[in-house]
């Protein structure tokens, strides 16, 4: 515990509410005359629907309404990219999570009791449950109208792969697989909707993206966006998982409310959440890499197949990130990369913290070490010889010269702080006096920030100073629990030179601030913070214009410092409060609307070339662990991470992201796997889908690296996802150093050959 | 329906309950106490932890009818009249993010510190092993508990 933090000074605006239990999450809200809704699923995975019979369910005690596809006044079809998801199944069942009806009753229990009385008459159809099978000619089509099971395809074509093959001294080939995993946010989905007297459908919900929720709700109800107002309340975790599913739950609930003309709440049980909510994509990744004897990579050929399940969701974007980052943070002159997002009848997959990078990193960060070993090179030196540096060209042809490329810096820090080189010498490689095998391992990454060429990328902030000098702040960023509101407040205070105590973050509403896109892709601080800084700058300029005569100087010479405005020689001064009072008395509103538009990015879908992201972040994580050769247990001993974040806005909360990301990444490395059997999600609750517990986690060290990013108005980049994308390969590498055995399948499950263990591991070392 | 009477957060309360209603549902739906959260409804996540006569229990596994005549304390009760040292430390050490698990975690940690004023790290981990947290990686929670322990007189 000696290195543990003992002088923390964290600050967040919702701290008091959260430690006293008064923070109100969606299910904590109550409305008079509120009805309760529950979803109804089918037993099928793939079937043609003949009829959905609801009469018996309608007659059950307390049941007010059974809603099916027939009741949808607006659009039945949804999807952020391809509109292939039916809010209520109507002609087909495509996966186990399809909802055929929603029962609305006086009490939640009454609604649950009526579930068995909804009868589905259907004809079972052949299902396709494996992504490679789905790609084969003649395989059943999940969406016939789509014409194939390929939801999307991306490629990278760089240099000349044949030339790379010719130049290579050695070639290494390896297949890796990663599993489907569950977000396991602690709060299952919940929505509360009511039709306001003014005709607006008001939505409270546990969702990550109020604006896509508004789109889904408006589309279902057949209403304009202005007739739906989504208000956000504290959310019990998202990790990318509360986009589509959460918005769909809100849309169904809003429909129930519209039909019954009463408030309706729908709170999911963990079982429904696990059955219906999308997961992280499982991948199959096949690498062929060529290297020269000096360790330089001459080419990479890679094929990835992602099982997207029954619906497209954001699969094209997830797999696009995998495509752009297909070679890890390495310079590779010749690249041939093919990536497929594939439809199957499995539970669908979508966004999850990392978004297509954890899978690739799990593979490439092992492959680079396998190549190093084959060449007899040190794995750190191997990385140094290939990693991106200042001015490097990425595999998609982007020159990294707009910001500080700090990959080697973060690697050096972790190697030093973890004492990697010395500890590496102590690794067991399968040999030990007792059953304990020791290993240390690390992994590095770069990551394109925000959405990149996936989509439009801009955000806004409103600063509205009240006559008494107090400030209302609002941005298009959503508080997922990460502390975004606190970061926005701190940036606003810093850039207005006022105390944060003046600033109240306004409960966001989709009717007040423009659509800022979704709070994903680690873009909150970068995009929302950029908008806050720009809004503060405009406001300062406005105040300076109005107050300059009082300070007997020109507007551009007004200085803001510590709640006081001065002229440049500090001969005259005026307090912030007085300045605001004067503004109002002169009929000038101290109000500003700031926008940050992400710089231009580019992408050519045919060649896989372009400036994919406007800025990048760099990371290194390491882990020490023990493997028990008898029990096959992995025990984590410590974990360390260094991330370049651009600028730390709220350091303690930033470290919180490091710890949480490392922990989640460690779970991905050694434990987490959401099995699907015959198309059905196997785990039903948290006893079967295990996440790491307090007793599983070791001490963690967080090292913040700051290289101010000139492209970001605040200098800050982002942290949510980078922390969660390399602990798994670091663990896999450490396990190799402990056991002498490679585990190319995630999660790493130790399998000890029972007989002749000693000889086996010895044999594999060489 | 049966009438039960128990002390809830230092206040004598009576309420009508069905024999199969859980304490969690009764607290949340009938008594307006919302800090205990439902994360799994089967005792796996610990978000619904409350204290019965000073001992932490998962309120989703207890029938409300069982608490007749007992004393139930939730996070709302612990927070009165002011924040405890532990709650202050939770704020200082950023021991929560989304906050959904926090009520249960604080209940478990309070029970630990009541019984063991100076727990070591292993004891802390053990005491929290029934509380799942997906945001923090637990470390800031350990730090807060250690800090309270450190500042207490031996």
The residue to which tokens 């998609």 are assigned: A396
Strand partners, A265: A36, A192
pLDDT band at A519 (very low <50, low <70, confident <90, very high): confident
- Would you call A266 an interface residue with chain B, using a CB distance cutoff of 8 Å? no
Q: Please state, in angstroms and rounded to a whole number, the distance separating the CA atoms of residues B56 and B60.
A: 12
Q: What are the structural domains, with CATH classification, of chain A?
A: 32-125+196-267 (3.90.1170.50), 283-452+604-739 (3.30.365.10), 458-597 (3.30.365.10)
Tokens of A127: 């299902």
Q: Please state, in angstroms and rounded to a whole number, the distance separating the CA atoms of residues A750 and A186.
A: 29
Asked if A46 and A93 touch (Cβ cutoff 8 Å), the reply is yes
Burial class of A561 by CB neighbour count within 10 A (0 to 12, 13 to 18, 19+):
exposed
Q: Please state, in angstroms and rounded to a whole number, the distance separating the CA atoms of residues A333 and A451.
A: 25
Tokens of A348: 């669908």
pLDDT of residue A2 exceeding 80, the answer is no
Q: Please state, in angstroms and rounded to a whole number, the distance separating the CA atoms of residues A702 and A413.
A: 11
**Which chain A positions have a beta carbon within 8 Å of B91's beta carbon?**
10, 12, 15-16, 19
The confidence score (pLDDT) of residue A484 equals: 93
CB spacing of A186 vs B98 below 8 angstroms: yes
pLDDT band at A197 (very low <50, low <70, confident <90, very high): very high
CB spacing of B129 vs A15 below 8 angstroms: no
- How does pLDDT run across A541-599, given as a tens digit for each residue? 999 999 999 999 999 999 999 999 999 999 999 999 999 999 999 999 999 999 999 88
Contact residues for A553 (Cβ-Cβ < 8 A; gap 6+): A567, A568, A572
Q: Please state, in angstroms and rounded to a whole number, the distance separating the CA atoms of residues A535 and A530.
A: 9
Please compute, for residue B104, the number of CA atoms within 13 A of its CA located in the half-sphere on the CB side: 28
Size of interface A-B (CB pairs under 8 A): 188
The confidence score (pLDDT) of residue A6 equals: 55
| Average pLDDT over every residue of A613-631 | 96
Burial class of A557 by CB neighbour count within 10 A (0 to 12, 13 to 18, 19+):
middle
Chain B closest-CA separation from residue A314 CA (Å): 23
The confidence score (pLDDT) of residue A766 equals: 33
- How does pLDDT run across A24-56, given as a tens digit for each residue? 999 999 999 999 999 999 999 999 999 999 999
CB spacing of A9 vs B45 below 8 angstroms: no
Strand partners, A438: A626
The confidence score (pLDDT) of residue A669 equals: 98
- How does pLDDT run across B57-74, given as a tens digit for each residue? 999 999 999 999 999 999
Residue in chain B lying closest to A687 (CA): B44
Q: What share of chain B is helix, strand, coil (3-state, %, to 5)?
A: 40, 20, 45
Phi-psi region of A147 (alpha: psi -120 to 50; beta: other; left: phi over 0): left
The confidence score (pLDDT) of residue A763 equals: 41
Tokens of A110: 């009454």
Q: Estimate to the nearest angstrom the gap between the alpha carbon of B15 and the chain centroid.
A: 21
CB spacing of B134 vs A185 below 8 angstroms: yes
Q: Where would I find the beta strands (DSSP E) of chain B?
A: 2-8, 11-17, 49-52, 55-58, 71-73
CB spacing of A685 vs B37 below 8 angstroms: no
**Which chain B positions have a beta carbon within 8 Å of A28's beta carbon?**
28, 34
CB spacing of A659 vs B79 below 8 angstroms: no
Asked if A96 and A684 touch (Cβ cutoff 8 Å), the reply is no
The confidence score (pLDDT) of residue A755 equals: 56
The confidence score (pLDDT) of residue A447 equals: 97
The confidence score (pLDDT) of residue A450 equals: 85
| Average pLDDT over every residue of A415-429 | 98
Number of neighbours of residue A7 by Cβ within 10 angstroms: 7
% of chain B exceeding 70 in pLDDT: 99
DSSP string, A143-185: SGGGSSSEEEEEEEEES-HHHHHHH-SEEEEEEEE---B----
Mean pLDDT in chain B?
A: 97
Alpha-carbon torsion (A125, A130, A131, A136), positive or negative: negative
Is A346 strand, coil or helix? coil
Chain B closest-CA separation from residue A690 CA (Å): 10
CB spacing of B40 vs A686 below 8 angstroms: yes
Q: Please state, in angstroms and rounded to a whole number, the distance separating the CA atoms of residues A130 and A366.
A: 25
- Residue B91: which of A19, A23, A663 has the nearest Cβ? A19
CB spacing of A481 vs B42 below 8 angstroms: no
Chain B closest-CA separation from residue A166 CA (Å): 47
Asked if A354 and A721 touch (Cβ cutoff 8 Å), the reply is yes
- How does pLDDT run across A87-115, given as a tens digit for each residue? 999 999 999 999 999 999 999 999 999 99
Number of neighbours of residue A16 by Cβ within 10 angstroms: 14
The confidence score (pLDDT) of residue A751 equals: 86
The confidence score (pLDDT) of residue B125 equals: 98
- How does pLDDT run across A253-273, given as a tens digit for each residue? 999 999 999 999 999 999 999
Q: Residues 240-259, chain A: which have Cβ within 8 Å of B?
A: none
- Would you call A635 an interface residue with chain B, using a CB distance cutoff of 8 Å? no
**Which chain B positions have a beta carbon within 8 Å of A15's beta carbon?**
90-91
- Would you call A3 an interface residue with chain B, using a CB distance cutoff of 8 Å? no
**Which chain B positions have a beta carbon within 8 Å of A663's beta carbon?**
136-139
- Would you call A32 an interface residue with chain B, using a CB distance cutoff of 8 Å? no
The confidence score (pLDDT) of residue A640 equals: 98
**Which chain B positions have a beta carbon within 8 Å of A699's beta carbon?**
139
**Which chain A positions have a beta carbon within 8 Å of B118's beta carbon?**
none
Crossing angle of helices A727-739/A651-670, nearest 10°?
A: 50
Give which of A252, A131, A104, A137 is closest to A190, Cα–Cα: A252
**Which chain A positions have a beta carbon within 8 Å of B126's beta carbon?**
694-695
- Residue B143: which of A5, A234, A482 has the nearest Cβ? A5
Number of neighbours of residue A78 by Cβ within 10 angstroms: 22
Alpha-carbon torsion (A7, A10, A15, A19), positive or negative: negative
pLDDT band at A517 (very low <50, low <70, confident <90, very high): confident
Strand partners, A439: A625
pLDDT band at A518 (very low <50, low <70, confident <90, very high): confident
Chain A closest-CA separation from residue B7 CA (Å): 19
Residues in chain B: 154
Q: Please state, in angstroms and rounded to a whole number, the distance separating the CA atoms of residues B74 and B71.
A: 10
Least confident of A419-428, B32-41, B74-83: B74-83
Alpha-carbon distances, residue B51 vs A186, A673, B33, B55, B67 (angstroms): 21, 34, 13, 5, 11
Strand A190-195 with A170-177, pairing: unpaired
Q: Please state, in angstroms and rounded to a whole number, the distance separating the CA atoms of residues B16 and A506.
A: 39
Residue in chain A lying closest to B146 (CA): A6
Residue in chain A lying closest to B123 (CA): A695
Q: Please state, in angstroms and rounded to a whole number, the distance separating the CA atoms of residues A93 and B6.
A: 49
Q: What are the structural domains, with CATH classification, of chain B?
A: 2-74 (3.10.20.30), 85-153 (1.10.150.120)
Q: Please state, in angstroms and rounded to a whole number, the distance separating the CA atoms of residues A696 and A690.
A: 11
CB spacing of A187 vs B39 below 8 angstroms: yes
| Average pLDDT over every residue of B33-62 | 98
With residue A560 as reference, give the H or E element that holds it: strand A559-561
The residue to which tokens 């969701």 are assigned: A313
CB spacing of A660 vs B94 below 8 angstroms: no
Is A115 strand, coil or helix? helix
pLDDT band at A5 (very low <50, low <70, confident <90, very high): low
CB spacing of A686 vs B135 below 8 angstroms: no
Peptide bond connecting A424 to the previous residue in cis, omega within 30 degrees of 0: no
CB spacing of B125 vs A653 below 8 angstroms: no
Is A265 strand, coil or helix? strand
% of chain A exceeding 90 in pLDDT: 91
- Would you call A162 an interface residue with chain B, using a CB distance cutoff of 8 Å? no
- Residue B76: which of A10, A21, A687 has the nearest Cβ? A21
Give which of A616, A303, A581 is closest to A468, Cα–Cα: A581
Phi-psi region of A719 (alpha: psi -120 to 50; beta: other; left: phi over 0): alpha
From the candidates A654, A694, A697, A701, which should be mutated to test the interface with B, based on the most B CB atoms within 10 A?
Answer: A694
Is A370 strand, coil or helix? helix
Chain A closest-CA separation from residue B94 CA (Å): 6
Structure ipTM over 0.95, yes or no? yes
**With helix as H, strand as E and coil as C, how does A716-731 read?**
CCCCCCHHHCCHHHHH
The confidence score (pLDDT) of residue A521 equals: 73
């Amino acid at each position: 515990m000696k290195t543990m933090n003992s002088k923390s000074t964290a600050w967040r605006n919702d701290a008091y509410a959260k430690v006293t239990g008064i923070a109100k999450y969606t299910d904590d809200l109550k409305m008079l005359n509120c009805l309760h809704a529950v979803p109804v699923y089918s037993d099928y995975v793939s079937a043609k629907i003949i009829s959905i019979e609801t009469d018996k369910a309608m007659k059950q005690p307390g049941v007010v309404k059974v809603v099916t596809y027939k009741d949808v006044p607006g659009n039945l079809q949804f999807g952020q990219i391809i509109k292939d998801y039916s809010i209520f199944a109507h002609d087909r069942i495509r996966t186990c999570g399809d909802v055929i009806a929603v029962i609305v009753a006086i009490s939640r229990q009454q609604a649950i009791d009526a579930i068995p009385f909804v009868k589905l008459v259907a004809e079972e159809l052949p299902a396709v449950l494996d992504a490679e099978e789905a790609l084969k000619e003649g395989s059943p089509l999940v969406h016939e109208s789509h014409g194939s099971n390929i939801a999307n395809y991306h490629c990278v074509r760089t240099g000349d792969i044949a030339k790379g093959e010719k130049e290579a001294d050695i070639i290494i080939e390896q297949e890796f697989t990663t599993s489907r995993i569950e977000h396991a946010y602690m709060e299952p989905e919940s929505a509360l909707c009511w039709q306001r007297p003014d005709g607006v459908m008001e939505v409270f919900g546990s969702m990550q993206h109020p604006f896509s929720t508004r789109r889904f709700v408006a589309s279902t109800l057949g209403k304009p966006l202005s007739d739906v107002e989504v208000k956000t309340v504290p959310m019990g975790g998202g990790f990318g998982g509360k986009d589509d599913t959460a918005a769909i739950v809100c849309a169904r609930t809003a429909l129930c409310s519209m039909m019954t003309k009463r408030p309706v709440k729908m709170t999911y049980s963990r079982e429904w959440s696990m059955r219906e909510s999308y997961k992280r994509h499982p991948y199959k990744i096949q690498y062929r890499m060529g290297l020269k004897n000096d360790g330089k990579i001459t080419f990479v050929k890679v094929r990835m197949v992602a099982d997207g399940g029954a619906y497209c969701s954001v699969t094209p974007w997830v797999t696009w990130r995998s495509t752009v980052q297909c070679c890890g943070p390495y310079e590779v002159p010749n690249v041939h990369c093919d990536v497929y997002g594939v439809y199957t009848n499995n539970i669908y997959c979508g966004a999850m913290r990392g978004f297509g990078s954890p899978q690739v990193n799990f593979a490439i960060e092992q492959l680079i070490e396998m190549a190093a070993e084959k060449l007899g090179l040190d794995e750190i030196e191997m990385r140094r010889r290939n990693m991106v540096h200042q001015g490097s060209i990425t595999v998609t042809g982007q020159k990294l010269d707009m910001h500080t490329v700090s990959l080697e810096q973060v690697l050096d820090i972790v190697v030093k702080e973890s004492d990697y080189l010395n500890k590496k010498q102590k690794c067991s490689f399968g040999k030990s006096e007792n059953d304990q095998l020791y290993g240390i391992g690390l992994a590095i990454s770069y990551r394109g920030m925000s959405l990149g060429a996936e989509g439009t990328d801009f955000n806004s902030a409103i600063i509205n100073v009240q006559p008494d000098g107090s400030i209302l702040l609002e941005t298009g960023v959503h508080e997922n629990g990460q502390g975004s509101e606190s970061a926005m407040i701190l940036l606003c205070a810093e850039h207005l030179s006022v105390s944060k105590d003046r600033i109240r973050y306004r409960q966001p509403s989709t009717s007040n601030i423009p659509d800022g896109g979704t709070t994903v892709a680690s873009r909150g601080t970068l995009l929302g913070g950029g908008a806050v800084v720009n809004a503060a700058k405009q406001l300062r300029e406005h105040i300076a214009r109005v107050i300059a005569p009082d300070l007997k100087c020109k507007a551009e010479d007004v200085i803001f410092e510590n709640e006081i405005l001065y002229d440049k020689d500090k001969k005259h001064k005026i307090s912030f409060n007085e300045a605001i009072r004067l503004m109002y008395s002169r009929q000038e509103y101290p109000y500003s609307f700031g926008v940050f538009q992400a710089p231009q990015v580019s992408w050519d879908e045919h060649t896989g070339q372009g400036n994919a992201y406007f800025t990048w972040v760099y990371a290194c994580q390491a882990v020490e662990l023990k493997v028990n050769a008898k029990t096959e247990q992995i025990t984590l001993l410590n974990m360390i991470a260094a991330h370049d974040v651009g600028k730390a806005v709220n350091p303690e909360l930033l470290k919180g992201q490091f710890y949480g990301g490392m922990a989640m990444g460690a779970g991905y490395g050694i434990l987490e796997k959401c099995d699907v059997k015959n198309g059905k999600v196997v785990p039903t609750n948290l006893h079967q889908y295990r996440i790491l517990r307090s007793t599983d986690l070791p001490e963690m060290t967080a090292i913040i690296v700051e290289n101010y990013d000139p492209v970001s108005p605040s200098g800050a980049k982002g942290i949510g996802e980078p922390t969660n994308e390399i602990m798994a390969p670091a663990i896999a590498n450490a396990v190799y150093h402990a056991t002498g055995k490679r585990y190319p399948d995630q999660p790493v499950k130790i399998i000890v050959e029972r007989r002749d263990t000693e000889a086996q591991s010895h044999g594999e070392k060489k | 329906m049966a009438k039960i009477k128990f002390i809830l957060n230092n206040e004598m309360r009576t309420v009508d309950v069905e024999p199969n209603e859980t304490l969690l549902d009764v607290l949340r739906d009938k008594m307006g106490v919302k800090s205990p959260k439902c994360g799994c409804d089967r005792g796996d996540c610990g978000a619904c932890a409350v204290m019965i006569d000073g001992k932490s229990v998962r309120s989703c596994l207890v029938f409300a009818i069982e608490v007749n005549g007992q004393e139930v304390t939730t996070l709302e009760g612990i927070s009165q009249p002011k924040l405890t040292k532990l709650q202050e430390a939770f704020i200082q050490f950023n021991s929560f993010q989304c906050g959904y698990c926090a009520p249960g975690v604080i209940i478990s940690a309070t029970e630990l510190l009541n019984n063991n004023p100076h727990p070591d790290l292993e004891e802390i981990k053990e005491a929290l092993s029934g509380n799942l947290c997906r945001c923090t990686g637990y470390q800031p929670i350990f730090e807060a508990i250690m800090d309270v322990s450190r500042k207490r007189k031996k």
